[in-house]
Structure formats: C-alpha cells, structure tokens
Amino acid sequence: MSAGARDADADAEVPVATGLGAPALRVLTEADLPRLAELEELLFAPSAWSLSMLTEELGAQGRWYVGVDAPQGDDTPPRLVAYAGLWFDGDVGQVMTIGVDPAVQRRGLGTVLLEALVARARELGAQAVLLEVRVDNEPALALYRRHGFEVLARRRRYYQPEDVDAFTMGLPLR
Ligand SMILES: CC(C)(COP(=O)(O)OP(=O)(O)OC[C@H]1O[C@@H](n2cnc3c(N)ncnc32)[C@H](O)[C@@H]1OP(=O)(O)O)[C@@H](O)C(=O)NCCC(=O)NCCS
C-alpha cells in the first residue's frame, strides 16, 4: 500500500448503504490477495490479474485499494465482495480496477466504490480521474456515464488477448 493510503482517515471503515446489511468500505491489505485473485478470475478472465500481479499492484506507489465485505450467513465470516483501486500519480487519478461479485451486482456497490475513488482523488488534489473501459462493457459504461465521465479517446486493441478496444474516459475535478 502506498504511504498515502495509510493515513488514519483513509483507513477508517465507512458504513455504506447497499441492502446487504451494513457492509463497510475498508482499505485492502495483503490478507485480501487470495480473495482478490478469485474475484479477478471471476470478473475479468482471460485477462484477469494474477496473484503476483495483484501483489505488485497493491504495493505499488500511489495506490489506494478499497473493498466492501458482505455477511455470508450465521457461522461464516463476512467476505470481500467488491473492490476498486486508484492510482494517483501526483497529477491525475486513474481508476485501476473496479469489480463486484456477480452474486451482488446491481445493488449499488459499484457506485459506492466509484464515488469513494473520486472522493479520494479530489482529496489528493487530482485534476481529473481517468479510466479505461472495454467499448462493449455496457454496465461499466453506464456506471461511469452516470457519474459524469465522458469518452476522451478510443484505444485500439487495448485489451489482450481478447483484442478489444478501450475507451479512455475522464472526469475533470477542477
Ligand atoms: C461495472 C460493475 C462494477 C458495476 O457494479 P454494480 O455494483 O453492479 O453497479 P451499481 O449497482 O452501483 O449500478 C450503478 C449503475 O450502473 C449501471 N449498471 C450497473 N450494472 C448494469 C447492467 N448490468 N446493465 C446496465 N447498466 C448497469 C446502471 O446505471 C446502475 O444504476 P441502476 O441500477 O440504478 O440502473 C459490475 O457490473 C462489475 O463488476 N462488472 C464486471 C467487472 C467490470 O467490468 N468492471 C469494470 C472494469 S472497467
């Protein structure tokens, strides 16, 4: 985790309203890596980040990864069902990833995460938030558009091995 991600405010658990009980947004740690790899595979195969890529990513400079746990039933501890990451390079914030377990999609978790990343980028003084999204990813495009992101460019064959184009989208913050 970046030094910036370790300050007290950033680490505070924040309750979020999602209809999943009272899950809390929290900063992710190395202990989350196995579950993160599982979710990646579920959501992004065949271009999912591997465990080693995730390990590197979580520890890289300027990153802020957060997630939401949801209750699993009486005797099972809550587990991570949604996650997202921001990279602040001193100038702009980049949404590195955002994913919600298919079992709990469309309950507002993507919104909670995206709003948290944008708020964090704003706090850090970012000029804008940028992201890449597959041109055929309708749910994500709808989510980003709803939050004011606009298409800035099309990047040909950005996603491999799928060989699919990406849109670069941006949200100006100042
Ligand atoms: C994109 C994603 C993160 C959205 O998460 P989510 O928790 O389901 O999103 P929310 O419930 O907050 O939905 C917010 C809005 O996004 C849009 N949206 C979300 N899922 C949608 C879908 N399947 N179809 C159309 N619009 C959708 C809607 O506008 C929705 O608002 P509404 O439910 O009031 O209509 C989730 O679908 C996901 O994890 N997808 C796979 C991974 C991925 O593609 N990540 C993005 C990489 S760029």
pLDDT digits (tens, 9 = 90+) for 87-108: 999 999 999 999 999 999 999 9
The answer to whether the CB of 71 falls within 8 A of the CB of 20 is yes
Q: How far is the CA of 73 from the centre of ligand 1 (A)?
A: 25
Rounded CA separation 94/117 (Å): 9
Domains identified in the chain and CATH numbers? 3-127 (3.40.630.30)
For the chain, report the end-to-end CA distance as a whole number of angstroms.
Answer: 27
User: Does residue 3 carry a pLDDT above 50?
Assistant: no
**Residue range 23-32, pLDDT digits in tens:** 689 999 999 9
- Taking CB atoms and a 6 Å cutoff, what residues make up the pocket around ligand 1? 43, 98-100, 105-111, 133, 137-140, 142-143, 146
Distance of CA 164 to CAs 43, 88, 132, 149, Å? 16, 26, 12, 20
Say what the pLDDT of residue 7 is. Answer: 42
